[in-house]
Amino acid sequence: MKIALACERFDPRGGGLEQWACQFARRLIERGHEVHALAFRAAPDAPAWPRVHLAPWSESRLRRAETLERELPRLNCDVIHDLGAGWACDVLHPQMGSREANLRQDLRRQNWRERWLRALRPAQRRWRNELREFERRQYQHRAGLTIAVSQMVARDLRELHGVAAERIRVIPNGVDAERLSPERLTPLREQMRHQLGWRKETVFLFAAHNPRLKGIRPLFAAFGILQKRCPEARLVAIGKAPEPRFQRLAARLGVQDRIRFAGFVGDPLPYFAAADAFVLPTYYDACSLTVLEAWAAGLPVVTTRRNGAAELMTNGVEGFVIEEPDRTAALADAMERLTDPNLRRRMGEAARNLALCRSLERNVDEIEGVYREAAARQAAWSGAR
């Protein structure tokens, strides 16, 4: 097949979506497909595969989607696979899930004053109105198929956007388990822990490009509780640095010296190697790729029901699932249990096995099935004309 991937950015060193898109494109090419990526931005040293076509950037989300609508047919592909950047496609795959649901959960974690100030900003109102119009066009009367990365996302698409259930295919994300195998990570562990200044401590890893949405506030609160019980616990955060007020919160709790803010890192593997457990008390995550990576690295995970990836795990087997991120006492309890090395070892092995069951290869198999179905629907529709 000749396949077009439509995305905002094509960059193997970007966030979870960008990394997944590049890995996915490589697998498709290895299987004999011809793959073209149409994006607005790409890394200067982006791989020569697939062929990357750059579209002109616009600050407007709607203008960018309209550009994709105009440019994608020119590639003359058998299947257009959009990762959430537009609406002109055969297969819509909103990796971020419903942006409206995401926004609602983001607002929930704010106090009344923060919500009030946000509502007063004209730029915020324009941004939200454009977002709603964008999703209205994405989901209105589409004849193509939509991939939901979790049952949570499928429910949001039905209830918030009116997407018919018969058009939705639920396919959880996959992970390159070999890239994060314990055999590759073990040699990196001692060096990274030495760099962090920690040896025998229990190290929790947090990774997020949007720390606020992914639960940095309840995490700091829970970590403050944990420190009173387990002073040997440590926390390292990679990704975007949290806002100064959250760093002040860590200072008020007296835990700032036991937290490392590493910022954006080119290679997260040493941090997975250094960690003993992964924690993501997110307010919304369609199906967290970092959680799948943590499982692949053999790390037990603490996350919330607001994470679509939680549907794949069994509470108490590969880690712990907290009902709501703001239940900081429950979050602290789960983290405290993971200071037990024997429990971590059992859960880490179960997590690794779960990642092997959700491999990137399986993910590609399932999406190829949707491609074939979409092509058949398109042929039937053309024949009916």
Contact 35, 371 (CB under 8 A): no
pLDDT in tens, 182-215: 899 999 999 999 999 998 999 999 999 888 899 9
Q: Does the pLDDT value for residue 384 go beyond 60?
A: no
Looking at the fold, whether 126 and 266 belong to one and the same domain comes out as no
Looking at the fold, whether 279 and 201 belong to one and the same domain comes out as yes
Closest CA to 8 of 17, 16, 74: 17
pLDDT at residue 382, as a whole number = 60
Helices (H) and strands (E) in the chain, counts: 14, 15
Looking at the fold, whether 308 and 373 belong to one and the same domain comes out as no
**Alpha-carbon torsion 267, 273, 276, 278, what sign?**
positive
Looking at the fold, whether 190 and 146 belong to one and the same domain comes out as no
Looking at the fold, whether 329 and 202 belong to one and the same domain comes out as yes
Contact 62, 29 (CB under 8 A): no
pLDDT at residue 189, as a whole number = 96
Looking at the fold, whether 191 and 43 belong to one and the same domain comes out as no
Contact 145, 373 (CB under 8 A): yes
Q: How many other CB atoms are found less than 10 A from the CB of residue 78?
A: 15
Looking at the fold, whether 285 and 336 belong to one and the same domain comes out as yes
| Nearest-10 crossing angle of helices 151-161, 99-108 | 100
pLDDT at residue 116, as a whole number = 65
Q: How confident is the model at residue 141 (pLDDT cuts 50, 70, 90)?
A: low
CATH number at residue 60: 3.40.50.2000
Higher pLDDT, residue 219 or 384: 219
Higher pLDDT, residue 26 or 143: 26
Give yes or no for a cis peptide into 50 (omega within 30° of 0).
Answer: yes
What region does 298 belong to: left with phi over 0, alpha with psi -120 to 50, or beta?
left
Looking at the fold, whether 157 and 245 belong to one and the same domain comes out as no
- Residue 100 in tokens: 């409206």
Q: What is the mean pLDDT of residues 353-359?
A: 96
> Tokens 């991120």 identify what position?
325
User: What total number of domains does the chain contain?
Assistant: 2
What's the DSSP call for residue 243?
Answer: P
Contact 270, 192 (CB under 8 A): yes
The Cα 157–Cα 164 span in angstroms is: 8
Q: What is the DSSP string of 5-16?
A: EE-SEE-TTSSH
pLDDT in tens, 27-60: 999 999 999 999 999 987 766 678 999 999 999 9
Which residue type sits at 268?
P
The Cα 270–Cα 217 span in angstroms is: 25
pLDDT in tens, 69-117: 999 999 999 999 999 999 999 999 999 999 999 888 777 666 667 766 6
Looking at the fold, whether 165 and 228 belong to one and the same domain comes out as no
| Average pLDDT along the chain | 91
> What is the extent of the structural domain holding 131?
2-174+360-384
Looking at the fold, whether 85 and 232 belong to one and the same domain comes out as no
Looking at the fold, whether 306 and 217 belong to one and the same domain comes out as yes
Higher pLDDT, residue 284 or 379: 284
Q: What is the DSSP string of 151-214?
A: HHHHHHHHHHH---GGGEEE----B-TTTT-HHHHHHHHHHHHHHHT-SSSEEEEEEESSTTTT
Q: How confident is the model at residue 226 (pLDDT cuts 50, 70, 90)?
A: very high
| Beta strand extents in the chain (DSSP E only) | 2-6, 9-10, 34-39, 41-42, 51-54, 79-82, 91-92, 145-148, 168-170, 202-208, 233-239, 259-263, 277-280, 301-304, 319-322
Contact 138, 157 (CB under 8 A): no
Looking at the fold, whether 147 and 188 belong to one and the same domain comes out as no
Contact 325, 369 (CB under 8 A): no
In this structure, what are the phi and psi dihedrals at residue 16, rounded to the nearest 5 degrees?
-55, -45
